[in-house]
Amino acid sequence: MSNTETPQPTQIQLHKKSRLLGVDFSDGSSFRFPCEYLRVFSPAAEVAGSGRPESGKKDVNIETLEPKGSYALQIIFDDGHDTGIYSWERLYDLGINQQKYWQEYLDSLEEHDLTRDSDDTEPDKPENINLHIMYFNYLVNKLGTQEERITLPAKRVKTVQDLLSILRTRKLERGYLLAEDSVRVTVNRQFAEPFTRLEDGDEIGIVPNSPNPPPPPEK
């Protein structure tokens, strides 16, 4: 695909909490790029030409975005990598082929006996995390509360997905109301994905996708 044929970005939005870069294109395509994915597929020469996959980038995030004229985006990552300039054509290609490229990357890591995990340790990480959870719409009546503050083991609750799983268990027969496909979750009032990581003191909003509650599961 030549540059003249490549769809142009219509919106670029960074979600730092979720470690996602959202890019909408003029042909209607919309992609959500994990920061790790963009980092390991950086077009910078020292990455693309190394012959060895980038490893240990699971927790990498994007610090800033810098437009390069009307043709590309420079992405500065929090691990110090700042030489990757992503043309619109490159970003579109990464979006269209995201599933294929990601699987190839995972296969390459395994082939080289490498992992996605960082070698860095997290000093003084708390054993528990305290979360402020707020419920909206019909959840308030169905669950009998508008908000609650809970303390959970940090090892068990690392992501939004983990939290919803624990809440479903705690709510017993009402737990089905918190199914992942029935609610939207915000973290500190920002867009969140199931894999969004949680930290001590986070404010969680849980909003139903529909004005009407789902039917209870058949027994």
Interval 125-158: pLDDT, tens: 678 999 999 999 999 999 999 999 999 998 889 8
Asked if pLDDT for residue 209 goes beyond 70, the answer is yes
Q: 179 lies in a domain?
A: yes
Q: 185 lies in a domain?
A: yes
Cβ-based neighbour number of residue 193 at 10 Å: 18
Q: 214 lies in a domain?
A: no
- Among 111, 139, 172, give the residue marking a domain's end: 111
Clarify whether residues 16 and 106 are in a common domain.
yes
Domain that holds residue 201: 128-208
pLDDT confidence of residue 12: 96
Q: 215 lies in a domain?
A: no
Clarify whether residues 138 and 166 are in a common domain.
yes
pLDDT confidence of residue 120: 55
Clarify whether residues 73 and 103 are in a common domain.
yes
Q: 2 lies in a domain?
A: no
- In SS3 terms, the chain reads as CCCCCCCCEEEEEEECCCCEEEEEECCCCEEEEEHHHHHHCCCCHHHHCCCCCCCCCCCCCEEEEEEECCCEEEEEECCCCCCEEEEHHHHHHHHHCHHHHHHHHHHHHHHCCCCCCCCCCCCCCCCEEEEEEEECCHHHHHHCCCEEEEEEECCCCCEHHHHHHHHHHHCHHHHHHHCCCCEEEEECCEECCCCCECCCCCEEEEEECCCCCCCCCCC
**How much of the chain, in percent, has pLDDT values that exceed 70?**
93
**How much of the chain, in percent, has pLDDT values that exceed 90?**
73
Interval 84-134: pLDDT, tens: 999 999 999 999 999 999 999 999 999 999 999 876 545 566 789 999 999
pLDDT confidence of residue 39: 96
Clarify whether residues 140 and 74 are in a common domain.
no
Q: 120 lies in a domain?
A: no
Clarify whether residues 95 and 26 are in a common domain.
yes
pLDDT average, residue stretch 43-56: 81
- Number of domains making up the chain: 2
Which pLDDT band holds residue 37 (cuts at 50, 70, 90)? very high
Clarify whether residues 15 and 107 are in a common domain.
yes
Asked if pLDDT for residue 197 goes beyond 90, the answer is no
pLDDT confidence of residue 121: 46
Q: 25 lies in a domain?
A: yes
Clarify whether residues 14 and 103 are in a common domain.
yes
Clarify whether residues 91 and 163 are in a common domain.
no
Clarify whether residues 17 and 104 are in a common domain.
yes
Single pTM value for the model: 0.66
- Among 84, 111, 138, give the residue marking a domain's end: 111
Clarify whether residues 18 and 106 are in a common domain.
yes
Clarify whether residues 148 and 102 are in a common domain.
no
pLDDT confidence of residue 92: 97
CATH number for the domain spanning 16: value is 3.30.2020.30
Q: 157 lies in a domain?
A: yes
Clarify whether residues 37 and 70 are in a common domain.
yes
- Among 111, 139, 160, give the residue marking a domain's end: 111
CATH number for the domain spanning 174: value is 3.10.20.30
pLDDT confidence of residue 125: 67
